[in-house]
Structure 1
């Protein structure tokens, strides 16, 4: 069973992402215990549930334990074990500190008694900084193609039933031989309209959920690594982005050329698959063998003054990768150019090794 309690009907007054992230408080056991109200998504080929769900639901649980005039300003997360979408998650909030200006909460996500995810979250009281402030902010890049309504990416984030929409833009400096000089960019927003009843907390949880979209994958894209496994006829576990590859194989050449997140090497390999040709390792780029998030940090800026259901621009770059790991930075802007969040993620990034047949 994927939930502890049978899920109630979807609330039509809430957006898809609000329904998805809904929590049930287990107050009869402990007022600081929560569980997922609805089943969580397991991306095809991933080791566990979509990481953004754990990030968002731990934030939602912590938000329910602080005074209304306190708002999250940072959270630091670690992915400990792969979450199983078939098992309910129990979220335990520990009230570490409740001060006059700041409050600290830790949240552990557990399945069958084992910690799968842990985070420490800091909240600040509104207007605690005083009347006079030290202020500055990075500016949103200019000359960016705007989002196109009704046109989404092929994968889960843009699926018609998904809780958010996304549109990737061409990689900046994609022809550079130096991955650290490239920037991966996208527009993203929650699908539908977040309800007034959800308050600023619902927008923050939605942003946290979406912040994990394509994040560690920045390293694969900047290195132009093959990210899609061959479509298999057996019942073995699928691999990275297999569902996306199925859709790409169904497209003709003109349609493929319009897919912004494919480079020339990707296009050539897809044509080889479609023509039934043997893939030559000498002619194609190395393949990703494993890509798993290890930790995730979000710094929220002016967290009560943005809407997660309006288009947000994100820009990701990677300063370093090595030793089977990689680091990625992300900035998230509102459409009018205000910096609303800064994120950092480290993850396992390993190439498929010689002789390996599957992940």
Structure 2
């Protein structure tokens, strides 16, 4: 059976829009119904992942749902389940169901399907902008006292529209409470969409970009707070690089840079792990990651109109619990001016390599 990466021939990249807008572009499939869409361009399969990058399914489902609601409604919550690994060599069909249309709230569900089977499902709730009234209760966790990257100040670097590479970029901001218990550690980063998001995309384009970015570095927090690297050796990295499929939103230079950063980031953790294993005669203490797969993902959009996804956003991630072969991660995102814009949760399978065969398989 011949595989088709996209349902229709992809058009040329629209250079008036940011790269992340092109990556997340959807095409209506009118022959199947008014609320069915498909990915316009090929989707990325990250090295070592079981399927496509989950952020693409999250963001494109959000984008599809937003096409069915009035412009004065903005998403405030999104609850997702990863059902099956998405195949980057097949098109995805996004089916939107109009569950409810109210005066203040609208509900949608979206199923992402391949080969007729759901691989991803989400329920979204939208609220009318300003429907809370003039008097409201207000509080928010303040952004930690951190220094923004140097290029957050206008004029310090070349314009974002001139930048190259993947659809978004990140910069490490350290790990807080590194020497404390795993549940007390906080992993910090700065993230932003690369190049300027177009005015034509509106706030919806920024929300889709934010949704895409939230799946990056997320469930991996569980292993990070335990000082367990994702890749245990350079050979593992090379093996996964050779298996790379459809790097449609990454170029060779960006892939090299990403793995160089990963190598540097995990080098200290791996060194401590190996030193500990060599100095400890009890080899049962050695822990090596066997499987890491996202199960569900929720996003609460607090201020959907109060940020730009192409400006640096500060992310702080923690893991309050892990057990039974699963782990939970929570992340908060602040805008460049310190506004809390979203809170996300994600649970996933996080299994260690076992000396004995596991009782069950996914």
**TM-score when normalising by structure 1:** 0.85
Q: 1:12 to 1:284 in 2, by over 3 A?
A: farther
Contact residue 24 and residue 39 of structure 2 kept, 8 A: yes
Q: 1:207 to 1:234 in 2, by over 3 A?
A: closer
The equivalent residue for 1:49 is 52
The equivalent residue for 2:135 is 132
Contact residue 48 and residue 82 of structure 1 kept, 8 A: yes
Instruction: Tell me if 1:337 matches 2:338.
Output: yes
C-alpha separation between the residues in 1 aligned to 2:302 and 2:187?
Answer: 21
C-alpha separation between the residues in 2 aligned to 1:319 and 1:250?
Answer: 29
Cα displacement (A) at 1:236: 6.7
C-alpha separation between the residues in 2 aligned to 1:160 and 1:180?
Answer: 37
Contact residue 228 and residue 240 of structure 1 kept, 8 A: no
For each residue in 1:91-116, what CA deviation from the matched residue of structure 2 results, as whole angstroms up to 9, or x when unmatched? 00000000100000000000000100
C-alpha separation between the residues in 2 aligned to 1:236 and 1:188?
Answer: 28
Cα displacement (A) at 1:160: 5.0
Equivalent in 248, 259, 262 of residue 266 of structure 2: 262
CA RMSD of aligned residues (A): 3.2
Partner secondary structure for residue 266 of structure 2: coil
Cα displacement (A) at 1:231: 4.1
**Unaligned residue ranges in structure 1 (runs of 5+):** 151-158, 272-276
The equivalent residue for 2:74 is 71
C-alpha separation between the residues in 1 aligned to 2:255 and 2:108?
Answer: 41
Instruction: Tell me if 1:117 matches 2:120.
Output: yes
Instruction: Tell me if 1:206 matches 2:209.
Output: yes
Cα displacement (A) at 1:43: 0.3
Could you say which structure has the higher helix fraction? 2
Partner secondary structure for residue 105 of structure 1: strand
What pairs with 1:1-359 in structure 2 (closer than 5 Å)?
1-142=4-145, 144-149=146-151, 160-176=164-180, 178-232=181-235, 259=264, 261-262=265-266, 264-267=268-271, 282=283, 285-354=286-355
Contact residue 231 and residue 246 of structure 1 kept, 8 A: no
Partner secondary structure for residue 337 of structure 2: coil
C-alpha separation between the residues in 2 aligned to 1:173 and 1:10?
Answer: 44
Residue correspondences, number: 333
**TM-score when normalising by structure 2:** 0.84
